[in-house]
Amino acid sequence: MSALITVILPVFLVLGFGYLARWKLGFTDQAVDGLMKFAQSFGIPVLLFRALSTLELGEYFTLPLMLSFYSGALAGFFAAFLGARFLFRRDWPDCVAIGFVGLFSNAALIGLPIMERAYGPDSLNPNYAIIAIHAPFCYVIGITAMEIVRSGGQGILAPAKTIVRMLAKNPMVIGIVIGLSVNLSGIAVPAPVGQAVNLVAAAALPAALFGLGGILVAYRPEGDLRIVAYASAVSLFLHPVVTYGVGQMLDLGTGALRGAVLTAAMAPGVNAFLFANMYGVAKRVAATTVLSATVVSILTIWVWLHILP
């Protein structure tokens, strides 16, 4: 119970405060949009830049870590994708969007603060390694699958330009690329610049959590609740269970196993809805799953904190 109170509840209380502020306290949609614009386009990218510019790449970018997390992510995608088609009889484009819900976990906005509160700031390096390729990996899978089903299986090569164009404009990807470039080049960041980076990075996660709470007000529980429950189960149970099993099989170290499993245990991020919205399919299912799974994850994360070493 102590983990629920000291680790998880503070994070979700900030998120809940953002929800309450938008719902009842006069925090407008424009204010929420502005705060999330700062968090997603500036704060989190600067945080990722700082982390990856100093990360020991050889120590944390390991094949067992990536295989553990991304095998779980792929299992989530295919389970949600095929379940949507053969259990719930959804159209193929809907199935891809629902598959993306099972694929994409909220690794940065909720995963990082949970990991930091549970195991301390020095525990985050495996998370940063996962996040470095998280958005590119998920969007490559999602966009490629969507373009293939929309073209009747004839568009395997067509998505390449779409993927490159989308990732090139993604602020988090830009922050990751610049951070890795600084790391690999050995360039020393001047002290005043480093201090400014620290100031912006310190504001990133609280702003993101508060803004995410405001965004969730719009995600009203509606749509097919059976498929929402199924997609939530895939995201919150299948993804971390597969990650945990593969991590144990590959003998991941304690820190890497914690980072991989807790990241996998996060609810689908806002990007799951943005992906569905981008294609205009399964928007209600994606939005409702993001909200419902985020609430349920308070308990499932608590369970994982007791299971993990």
3-state secondary structure of 146: helix
Answer for the pair 53, 189: CB distance below 8 angstroms, yes or no. Answer: yes
Q: What is the pLDDT of residue 109?
A: 80
C-alpha to C-alpha distance for 295 and 272, rounded to whole angstroms: 16
User: Minimal CA–CA distance to 298: which of 236, 242, 247, 255?
Assistant: 236
More confident residue, 62 or 188: 62
Number of domain units in the chain: 1
The percent of residues above 90 in pLDDT, for the chain, comes to 49
Q: What is the pLDDT of residue 267?
A: 94
C-alpha to C-alpha distance for 258 and 253, rounded to whole angstroms: 9
Q: What is the pLDDT of residue 167?
A: 72
Q: What are the backbone angles phi and psi of residue 156, rounded to the nearest 5°?
A: -65, -40
Query: What is the SS3 string spanning 198-232?
Result: HHHHHHHHHHHHHHHHHHHCCCCCCCCHHHHHHHH
C-alpha to C-alpha distance for 195 and 170, rounded to whole angstroms: 24
Among the residue ranges 115-124, 143-152, 289-298, the one predicted with the least confidence is: 143-152
3-state secondary structure of 268: strand
3-state secondary structure of 106: coil
The percent of residues above 70 in pLDDT, for the chain, comes to 94
190-227: pLDDT as tens digits: 999 899 999 999 998 898 889 888 888 877 666 688 99
More confident residue, 243 or 273: 243
The whole-number average pLDDT for the span 156-160 is 60
Q: How confident is the model at residue 1 (pLDDT cuts 50, 70, 90)?
A: low
pTM of the complete model: 0.83
Count of beta carbons in the 10 Å neighbourhood of residue 86: 10
Whether pLDDT at 238 is above 90: yes
More confident residue, 214 or 259: 259
* Max mean pLDDT range (118-127, 138-147, 208-217): 118-127
Domain range spanning residue 100?
A: 2-307
**In sequence order, which residues have a C-beta less than 8 Å from that of residue 284 and are 6 or more positions away?**
222, 223, 224
CA 233 → CA 30, 89, 129, 133, 237, distances in Å? 33, 18, 25, 24, 5
Q: What is the pLDDT of residue 228?
A: 94
C-alpha to C-alpha distance for 3 and 253, rounded to whole angstroms: 22
Whether pLDDT at 307 is above 90: yes
Whether pLDDT at 160 is above 80: no
Q: What is the pLDDT of residue 17?
A: 94
**Average of per-residue pLDDT values in the chain:** 88
The enclosing domain of 299 has a CATH number of 1.20.1530.20
68-119: pLDDT as tens digits: 999 999 999 999 999 999 999 999 999 999 999 999 999 888 899 999 999 9
176-192 burial, b for 16+ CB within 10 Å, e for fewer?
bbbbbebbeeeeeeeee
Answer for the pair 233, 38: CB distance below 8 angstroms, yes or no. Answer: no
Q: How confident is the model at residue 157 (pLDDT cuts 50, 70, 90)?
A: low
C-alpha to C-alpha distance for 27 and 11, rounded to whole angstroms: 19
C-alpha to C-alpha distance for 147 and 158, rounded to whole angstroms: 7
The whole-number average pLDDT for the span 18-28 is 93
Q: What is the pLDDT of residue 223?
A: 63
Q: What is the pLDDT of residue 205?
A: 85
More confident residue, 243 or 309: 243
Answer for the pair 49, 178: CB distance below 8 angstroms, yes or no. Answer: yes
Q: What are the backbone angles phi and psi of residue 268, rounded to the nearest 5°?
A: -60, 140
34-69: pLDDT as tens digits: 998 898 889 988 988 998 898 887 788 899 999 999
C-alpha to C-alpha distance for 271 and 208, rounded to whole angstroms: 13
C-alpha to C-alpha distance for 204 and 180, rounded to whole angstroms: 19
**In sequence order, which residues have a C-beta less than 8 Å from that of residue 152 and are 6 or more positions away?**
none
